[in-house]
Chains A and B, each alone.
Chain A
Amino acid sequence: MFQIRFHGRGGQGVVTAAEMLSVAAFDEGRFAQAFPSFGSERTGAPVVSFCRIDSRPIRSREPVLKPDALIIQDVTLIHQVDVFAGLSSEGYVLINTSKSVDELGLGDFLGTFHRERLLTCPATELALEHLGRPLPNAVLLGGFAALTSQVTLESIALAIGQRFSGTTAERNVVAATAAYQLVVRAEEELERAATN
C-alpha cells in the first residue's frame, strides 16, 4: 500500500486533489481510496486529505498516520502544522513553493530523509501562468507523478479531465505537465550533483 497525505488550506482544492489522485490510480487498475479530514472548513484554514493506493482492496478507515508521501500545497503550513508527522525516512515530500528545499530553513530535519525525495515545485506560479488562478492542486499531481512514479502523468491528465471540463481541464493538464517536467529536471540535477 502507498499512502499519501495532502496538506493545504481551505479553497486550494486539497480534497479534490486526493480524489483526482485516487481516480488516476483507479484508472490504472489499482484500488484507491480518498477521503478528507473534515473540520468546519473556512477559506484559508488548514485542511488535510488522504489517499491510499494498493494492488488489493483497501479496508482501513483510519486517517493516514504514516504517509509514504506528503503533498504540501501551502508552504506556510510547515511552521504551523506538524505536516511531517509519521513520515518514514523512505518517504517522499513535494512542497508547493518557488524556493528550493535548502532555502526553506528545515535544517537538520532534512538529514533523515533521502535528499532526492524532497522536492519543491512552484505550483502556484504555474497555476497562475496557465490557469490565471492560484490553484495548485492538480498541478502538484503532475509533480507527484514524476517524484514517486506511483501513477503516470497520462493517468493524472485523464483524472483531471474527469474532474474538470473544457479549457479548465486542458490548462490544468498543461500546468501539471510543466510541473512534471520541472520535477524530472530537479531530480536529474540532484543525480548529477550526487555523481560529481
Chain B
Amino acid sequence: MLHRACALQPDILSAVAAGREREALVAAHLAACPSCREQADAISWMGQLAEAPQPSHPLPDPGVIWWKAQLLRRWQAERVASAPIERMHWVELVAGFATLAVFLVWQWRGLSTLVARAIPAGLSALSTAAPPSNPLVLMLILCGTATVGAMVLAGLHRMLYRSHL
C-alpha cells in the first residue's frame, strides 16, 4: 500500500489527463513510479468508463420539466402568500386559550359556586354558599368554552388534513 504521493504527481497526472501518457518523459516516470502509475491507471480507466456505451434510454421530456417547474413556482408563491394567514390561525388559538385562562382566574369564585350547586354532595353546603353568579357571567363562560372548543377542533382538523397531503 502506498502512503504518499510522488512530488511530480500533479504534473504527471495532468499529462495523463491530457492524453500525453506516451510521451517519453511521462512514460519513463510512470514505469518507475508505482504511485503515479496506479493514479494514472485510475484516470485512464475513468476516461474509458465515460466513453463506455450508455443504455439507450430516452431522456425526460424538457416540456414536462418546464411545466413542473412552473407549477412548483406557483405553489411556492401561494405558500408564501398564505404563510401570514397560517400564522394567524395559531395566534388565534393561543389568544383563545389565554382569554379562557384569564377568565377562569377572574371568575374562579363564581365557577366554584356553580360547580358546588351542580354536584349533589354539595347540596348540603348550598345554604351556606355564596349567592349564585351573575347569569351574564355564566353566558360568557359557556360562549368562551364553546369558542375554544371549536378552535381546538379546527386546529386538529387542519393538522389531520395536512398529514394526509
Whether both chains belong to one complex is answered with: no
Interface residues of B (CB under 8 A from A): none
Interface residues of A (CB under 8 A from B): none
